[in-house]
Amino acid sequence: MSAPSGGAEIDAVVGKAELVPTRMAPAARMVEADNSLMLTIVREIRSDTNQHRTMHLQVVDLLRRHDRRFDEIERRFGDIEQRISDTRAEIELMMKAELLGRLTHFETQIDERIAQLEDRLSAAERPHG
């Protein structure tokens, strides 16, 4: 009562089983070679899958870092826009003061010139005597 099983025969001797190596049939060797090849392929696929997973995790980490950088840049631009809007009123006031100061100076010069011309005109209209 023996049946080939993976290259060994089992001899039943009063409740005792013993494995005895036998020669494998060529078909069994091919099945074993196919299993070995499949095992190698599965290991390679697992290795590739682990590498892909690692790369995906690295990409996700990089994307998160870039998102944080973009958020920081956006915050900085917001701060700059706020500072510009805060200083806009001050700049407008400074420009108005400068322009009004120059305008006032110009008006004063014109008034002085007009006064000089009026004095000369009135002096020319007076009889000399």
pLDDT tens digits, one per residue of 53-112 = 999 999 999 999 999 999 999 999 999 999 988 898 888 889 999 999 999 999 999 999
18: left (phi over 0), alpha (psi -120 to 50) or beta: beta
16 residue type, one letter: K
* Residue 64 vs residues 51, 56, 73, 75, 97: alpha-carbon distances, Å: 20, 12, 14, 16, 49
* Residue 121 vs residues 15, 38, 114: alpha-carbon distances, Å: 149, 118, 10
CA distance 109 to 73: 52
Q: What percent of the chain has pLDDT over 70?
A: 74
Q: What is the dihedral of CA 55, 58, 63, 66, to 10 degrees?
A: -140
DSSP assignment letter at 7: T
Whole-model pTM?
0.41
For residue 10, what pLDDT is reported?
A: 45
2 CB-near residues (< 8 Å, 6+ apart): 9, 10, 11
CA distance 29 to 35: 10
The backbone torsions φ and ψ at residue 17, rounded to the nearest 5 degrees and listed phi first, read -105, 140
Give the confidence band of 32 by pLDDT, cuts at 50, 70, 90. Answer: confident
Segment among 17-26, 41-50, 106-115 with least mean pLDDT? 17-26
Q: Which residue has the tokens 């005597």?
A: 129
For residue 25, what pLDDT is reported?
A: 61
